[in-house]
């Protein structure tokens, strides 16, 4: 959903020198490199594990998923998340949102404006003419209150809470958001979101993790990944990635991933549905017969055998591949070195009455669950 900028990609060199895949215990980052205080609040790095050896490290700065270690088909553990070894690495001038919770409104709001109950709200513009991921200082740049615990199933979990005051980034209402990350016994990273408000507001939460199922130093392109997305329709956009309001069929489109297709198969040639040189950046309408958690997508990398399955109860999912900004051609280092699958409501839903509602009112509770499951074959 957001392009990976030069400095961000340059930091991958730091990733490669600090992270090595190996059988046995994952090579985790040092918590000491994340210990800090921002605006008077402590920042830490938390590690969640299960008995299978899967591990995830998450910081309460932005709720960032720093790494996720899972076994490949040869038994070696691979870090499948694009992350950085130090907290300072996330303080780049370009707001990349890598691995972070995005809100109050993930994705875009057209022209930074929406009307709620007859009142127009004007938001900060931070992406062309639009508002992206909650504005200038959204949830991805906040320090969340954190506690670790073990749930009734014996699974390690991290609870994050952030209270967003009324008027923050010009959004109405004091919003209390809780996000719980859990590493399950089934090699899943589960994310449960809940939120309440004291005044009507709009809300759309997701996590912006970038994945590469090759693991390791993340220098290898994800073009070989085989992707399946369980969607028959998508939301076409204008040139600034704001939905036109149409919900279009994927039939005959280069965006159709109903059968397993490598990322690189179609991005190497032009198609009217997308800018092929910049890759995919589209919201898919998840096929569902109930509002419950369903499988939205699957990604498979043959070389490692790693399979990532995304399950969610959201109406949409943003598939983003983009490409490196180190150079502007396919021969560049780190070219298309990650992808994102962001479970979400539709972009700009507050301005489209025919889209699923993004309004949260007092007395209501926003709930959203997304699960990233991992296996090997």
- Indicate which residues carry an active-site annotation: 208, 342
C-alpha closest to that of 281 among 332, 326, 318: 318
Residues forming a β-bridge with 267? none
Q: Read off φ and ψ for residue 112, nearest 5 degrees.
A: 65, 30
Q: Tell me the pairing of strands 77-79 and 101-102.
A: unpaired
- The CA-atom distances, in angstroms, between 277 and each of 19, 78, 214, 274, 323 are 30, 28, 22, 9, 8
Three-state secondary structure call for residue 153? coil
C-alpha closest to that of 268 among 321, 340, 215, 327: 321
Beta strands in 270-365 (DSSP E): 281-286, 294-301, 306-312, 316-320, 340-344, 359-360
DSSP per position, 103-132: -SB-SEEGGGEEEETTEEEE----BTTBEE
Three-state secondary structure call for residue 91? coil
Q: What single-letter DSSP state applies at residue 170?
A: G
Three-state secondary structure call for residue 200? coil
DSSP per position, 185-197: TTSEEEEEEEEEE
Helix-, strand-, coil-residue percentages of the chain, each rounded to 5: 10, 40, 50
- The CA-atom distances, in angstroms, between 15 and each of 73, 87, 110, 125, 338 are 23, 12, 35, 31, 14
């Amino acid at each position: 959903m957001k392009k990976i900028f030069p400095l961000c990609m340059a930091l991958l060199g730091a990733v490669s020198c600090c992270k090595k895949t190996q059988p046995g215990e994952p090579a985790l980052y040092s918590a000491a490199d994340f210990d800090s205080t921002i605006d008077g609040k402590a920042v830490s790095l938390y590690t969640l594990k299960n008995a299978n050896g899967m591990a995830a490290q998450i910081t309460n700065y932005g709720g960032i998923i720093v790494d996720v270690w899972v076994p490949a088909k040869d038994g070696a553990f691979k870090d499948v998340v694009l992350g950085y070894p130090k907290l300072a690495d996330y303080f780049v001038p370009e707001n990349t949102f890598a691995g972070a919770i995005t809100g109050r409104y993930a994705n875009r709001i057209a022209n930074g404006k929406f009307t709620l109950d007859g009142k127009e709200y004007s938001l900060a513009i931070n992406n062309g003419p639009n508002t992206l991921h909650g504005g200038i200082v959204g949830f991805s740049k906040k320090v969340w209150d954190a506690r670790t615990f073990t749930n009734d199933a014996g699974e390690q979990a991290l609870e994050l809470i952030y209270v967003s005051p009324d008027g923050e980034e010009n959004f109405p209402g004091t919003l209390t958001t809780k996000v719980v990350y859990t590493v399950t016994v089934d090699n899943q990273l589960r994310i449960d979101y809940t939120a309440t408000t004291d005044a009507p507001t709009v809300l759309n939460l997701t996590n912006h993790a970038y994945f590469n199922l090759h693991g390791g130093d993340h220098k290898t392109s994800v073009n070989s990944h085989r992707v399946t997305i369980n969607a028959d329709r998508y939301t076409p956009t204008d040139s600034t990635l704001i939905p036109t309001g149409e919900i279009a069929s994927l039939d005959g489109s280069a965006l159709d991933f109903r059968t397993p297709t490598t990322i690189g198969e179609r991005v190497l040639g032009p198609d009217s549905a997308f800018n092929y040189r910049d890759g995919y950046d589209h919201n898919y309408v998840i096929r569902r017969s109930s509002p419950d958690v369903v499988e939205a997508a699957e990604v498979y990398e043959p070389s490692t055998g790693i399979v990532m399955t995304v399950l969610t109860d959201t109406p949409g999912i943003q598939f983003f591949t983009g490409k490196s900004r180190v150079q502007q051609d396919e021969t560049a280092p780190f070219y298309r070195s990650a992808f994102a699958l962001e479970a979400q409501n539709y972009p700009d839903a507050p301005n489209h009455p025919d889209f699923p509602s993004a309004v949260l009112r007092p007395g209501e509770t926003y709930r959203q669950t997304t699960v990233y499951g991992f296996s090997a074959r």
